[in-house]
Amino acid sequence: MLQIWFTRLLFTTSLLALLLILTGSYLRLSDAGLACPDFPTCDGRLFPTDDDIQAWSAMIHRYLTVAFSLLVVSLVIFAERMKSGPRYSWQLRLVLLLTLLQGWLGYLSLSMLLHPAVVTLHLLTAMLILSLLWSVYLNAASKGAIYSERLPRINLRPWVIMAFLLVCVQILLGGFTSSNYASLACPDLPTCQQQWLPEIDFTGIYQLLSGEAIDYQSSQLNNQQSISVHLAHRYSAVVTAVFILFLSLLATRKSTAIYRGAGLWLAFILILQIQLGVANILLLLPLPVALGHTAGASLLLLSLVYLHHLTRRSKVSIYTH
Q: Which of 260, 304, 310 is nearest to 160 (CA)?
A: 304
Measured CA to CA, the distance from residue 317 to residue 23 in angstroms comes to 34
The residue within the footprint of ligand HEM, chosen from 105, 281, 305, 307 (CB under 6 A), is: 281
Q: Which of 200, 148, 181 is nearest to 314 (CA)?
A: 148
The residue within the footprint of ligand HEM, chosen from 28, 115, 122, 309 (CB under 6 A), is: 28
Q: Which of 21, 25, 44, 22 is nearest to 33 (CA)?
A: 25
5-13, 85-93, 286-294, 311-319 -> range binding ligand HEM (CB under 6 A): 286-294
- Provide the phi-psi class of 215: left if phi over 0, else alpha when psi is between -120 and 50, else beta: beta
Measured CA to CA, the distance from residue 153 to residue 5 in angstroms comes to 31
User: Closest approach of Cβ 15 to ligand HEM, in Å?
Assistant: 18
Kindly tell me which of 56 and 176 has the beta carbon lying closer to ligand HEM.
176
- Taking every pair of Cα atoms in the chain, the longest distance, rounded to a whole number of angstroms, is 62
Structural Rg of the chain based on CA atoms: 21
100-108, 146-154, 256-264, 275-283 -> range binding ligand HEM (CB under 6 A): 275-283
**40-79: which residues touch ligand HEM (CB under 6 A)?**
none
280 contacts ligand HEM (rule: CB under 6 A): yes
Q: Is the dihedral of CA 178, 184, 189, 193 positive or negative?
A: negative
**201-240: which residues touch ligand HEM (CB under 6 A)?**
233-234, 237, 240
Measured CA to CA, the distance from residue 189 to residue 175 in angstroms comes to 20
Kindly tell me which of 29 and 316 has the beta carbon lying closer to ligand HEM.
29
40-48, 104-112, 196-204, 279-287 -> range binding ligand HEM (CB under 6 A): 279-287
Q: Which residues of 262-300 are buried (b: 16+ CB within 10 A; e: fewer)?
A: bbebbbebbebbbebbbbbbeeebeeebbbbbbbbbbbb
51-59, 97-105, 249-257, 272-280 -> range binding ligand HEM (CB under 6 A): 272-280
Measured CA to CA, the distance from residue 285 to residue 288 in angstroms comes to 9
**135-194: which residues touch ligand HEM (CB under 6 A)?**
167, 170-171, 174-175, 177-178, 183
Kindly tell me which of 248 and 280 has the beta carbon lying closer to ligand HEM.
280
User: Closest approach of Cβ 142 to ligand HEM, in Å?
Assistant: 26
Kindly tell me which of 233 and 309 has the beta carbon lying closer to ligand HEM.
233
29 contacts ligand HEM (rule: CB under 6 A): yes
Torsion (CA) 296, 298, 303, 308 in degrees, nearest 10: 150
The residue within the footprint of ligand HEM, chosen from 76, 82, 274, 316 (CB under 6 A), is: 274
Q: Which amino acid, residue 155?
A: N
The residue within the footprint of ligand HEM, chosen from 192, 247, 290, 302 (CB under 6 A), is: 290
Kindly tell me which of 115 and 233 has the beta carbon lying closer to ligand HEM.
233
Distances (CA, A) of 201 to 75, 116, 123, 178, 228: 46, 17, 24, 18, 6
User: Closest approach of Cβ 166 to ligand HEM, in Å?
Assistant: 9
Footprint of ligand HEM (CB under 6 A): 25, 28-29, 123, 167, 170-171, 174-175, 177-178, 183, 233-234, 237, 240-241, 273-274, 277-278, 280-281, 285, 290, 293-294, 297, 300
